[in-house]
């Protein structure tokens, strides 16, 4: 048998077919289902990678193993990207728990929601099962259609970024080089993140018609890393060759802020920052502390921005009253130094002089029990 024959046998398509035969996909069982997910990531990458997929040099798919893993391997002259069903299950289960804390207070009808303590219990169970068995588990608890839709969108966008990261490894040529020591592998992982973040930021700054909504895409990209970050906070250990999830989230935010400017940053990252507050409350409970929110400057700026936009968009007086009540409840206990910093930074969220800027400051004043100046 010639070397050419060996290459023909050792193709990424053959490899992936064997893997899926042994471990059938659970969530994306057909090629059309999978391509709906992978195609979003591929469209954000480069024409060269897209051409490689068209030629069959890159194949991808779900493999029905329950360990939460996503990785790329080389086969002959091509590459296979596989995402385990356990990765999809872990992310969706965490997203469903976090999304179930949303009470729908700015929509037409109130929705039932989980308390921070209930969310923490669900996530602790999820992570505990992973710690003991090494697999992701699904959980059953009530959720509204809106909460399930949010969880599904966040999970799909999180998976999209993980696939983008693996495409970045191919783009960077990582699999054509010798394996390298731990420090070198860590450098390659950081470089793949940087490449994938660059593609992500390029997209959210110029979203395409019919493509994913940019706030949700960015929130999902952070969410996949934030799940790992929470697992690290819960004491679970991961491969030392990968940067910490917290460092990866911080780098992603810095990349977006530098490219977008502060006003666009808050417009895009507000959903992700809101999820982050819930994650921190969950982590506090895990540490035996009260699940209170301890917002930082970015949290308050993003939250007030959301409330401002929702208020000015609302036509219903009841919804507007609910938004005012929310601002008073959430921000009445802000430390004076933080409140002053928010006021100074208002121009980083909205252009001074526009209606949104003025109402942003009005909401901040309305939330102050001591009545700070408007």
Rounded to an integer, what distance in angstroms lies between the CA atom of residue 294 and that of residue 299? Answer: 9
How far CA 68 is from CA of 63, 91, 152, 333, in Å, comes to 11, 9, 17, 40
Is 181 exposed, middle or buried, given 0-12, 13-18 or 19+ CB atoms closer than 10 A? exposed
Work out whether strand 70-75 and strand 58-63 pair parallel, antiparallel, or are unpaired.
unpaired
3 state SS for 274-311 = HHHHHHHHHHHHHCCCCCCCCCCHHHHHHHHHHHHHHH
Q: pLDDT digits over 18-43, tens only?
A: 999 999 999 998 999 999 999 999 99
Degrees (nearest 5) of the Cα angle 348, 303, 151? 125
Query: Checking phi first, is residue 175 left (phi over 0); if not, alpha (psi -120 to 50) or beta?
Result: alpha
Counts for the chain of helices (H) and strands (E), in that order = 15, 3
Q: pLDDT digits over 266-322, tens only?
A: 999 998 988 888 888 777 777 777 767 778 899 999 999 999 999 999 988 888 998
For the chain, the average pLDDT equals 88
Is 365 exposed, middle or buried, given 0-12, 13-18 or 19+ CB atoms closer than 10 A? middle
Q: How far apart are the first and last CA of the chain?
A: 81
To the nearest 10 degrees (0 to 180), the angle between helices 297-313 and 355-366 is: 110
Question: Do 248 and 200 touch, CB atoms closer than 8 A?
Answer: no
Rounded to an integer, what distance in angstroms lies between the CA atom of residue 213 and that of residue 211? Answer: 7
Q: pLDDT digits over 131-141, tens only?
A: 888 888 777 77
DSSP class of 108: S
Residue 7 has pLDDT above 70, yes or no: no
**In the structure encoding, which two tokens stand for residue 121, read together?**
């219990």
Residue 214 has pLDDT above 70, yes or no: yes
pLDDT at 103: 57
DSSP class of 243: P
Q: State pTM to two decimals.
A: 0.88
Question: Do 250 and 277 touch, CB atoms closer than 8 A?
Answer: no
How far CA 204 is from CA of 163, 175, 200, 281, 305, in Å, comes to 17, 28, 6, 28, 18
Residue 4 has pLDDT above 50, yes or no: no
Who contacts 372 (Cβ-Cβ below 8 Å, separation ≥6)? 339, 343, 364, 365
**Sign of dihedral through CA atoms 96, 101, 104, 109?**
positive
pLDDT at 1: 40
**In the structure encoding, which two tokens stand for residue 47, read together?**
């024409």
pLDDT at 104: 56
Rounded to an integer, what distance in angstroms lies between the CA atom of residue 50 and that of residue 39? Answer: 9
Residue 65 has pLDDT above 80, yes or no: yes
- What length is written for the chain? 374
Lowest mean pLDDT among 96-100, 205-209, 359-363: 96-100
């Amino acid at each position: 048998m010639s070397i050419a024959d060996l290459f023909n046998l050792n193709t990424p398509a053959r490899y992936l077919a064997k893997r899926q035969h042994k471990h059938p996909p659970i969530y994306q069982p057909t090629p059309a289902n999978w391509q709906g997910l992978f195609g979003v990531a591929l469209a954000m990458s480069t024409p060269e990678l897209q051409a490689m997929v068209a030629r069959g040099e890159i194949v991808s798919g779900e493999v029905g193993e329950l360990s939460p893993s996503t990785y790329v391997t080389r086969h002959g002259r091509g590459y296979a990207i596989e995402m385990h069903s356990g990765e999809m299950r872990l992310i969706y289960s965490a997203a469903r728990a976090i999304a179930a804390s949303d009470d729908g207070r700015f929509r037409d009808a109130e929705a039932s929601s989980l308390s921070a303590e209930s969310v923490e219990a669900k996530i602790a169970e999820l992570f505990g099962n992973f710690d003991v068995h090494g697999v992701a588990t699904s959980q059953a608890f009530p959720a509204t259609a809106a909460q399930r839709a949010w969880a599904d969108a966040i999970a799909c966008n999180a998976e999209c970024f993980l696939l983008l990261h693996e495409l970045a490894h191919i783009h960077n040529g990582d699999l054509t080089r010798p394996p390298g020591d731990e420090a070198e592998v860590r450098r390659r992982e950081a470089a793949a993140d940087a490449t994938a973040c660059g593609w992500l930021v390029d997209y959210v700054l110029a979203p395409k018609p019919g493509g994913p909504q940019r706030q949700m895409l960015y929130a999902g990209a952070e969410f996949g890393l934030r799940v790992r970050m929470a697992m690290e906070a819960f004491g679970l250990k991961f491969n030392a060759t990968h940067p910490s999830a917290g460092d990866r989230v911080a780098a992603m935010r810095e990349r977006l802020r530098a490219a977008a400017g502060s006003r666009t940053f808050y417009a895009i990252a507000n959903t992700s920052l809101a999820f982050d507050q819930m994650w921190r409350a969950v982590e506090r409970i895990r540490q035996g502390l009260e699940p209170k929110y301890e917002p930082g400057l970015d949290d308050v700026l993003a939250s007030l921005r959301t409330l401002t936009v929702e208020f000015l968009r609302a036509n219903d007086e009841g919804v507007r009253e609910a938004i005012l009540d929310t601002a008073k409840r959430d921000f009445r206990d802000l430390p004076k130094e933080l409140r002053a910093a928010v006021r100074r930074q208002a121009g980083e969220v909205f252009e001074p002089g526009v209606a949104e800027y003025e109402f942003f400051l009005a909401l901040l004043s309305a939330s102050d029990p001591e009545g700070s100046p408007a």
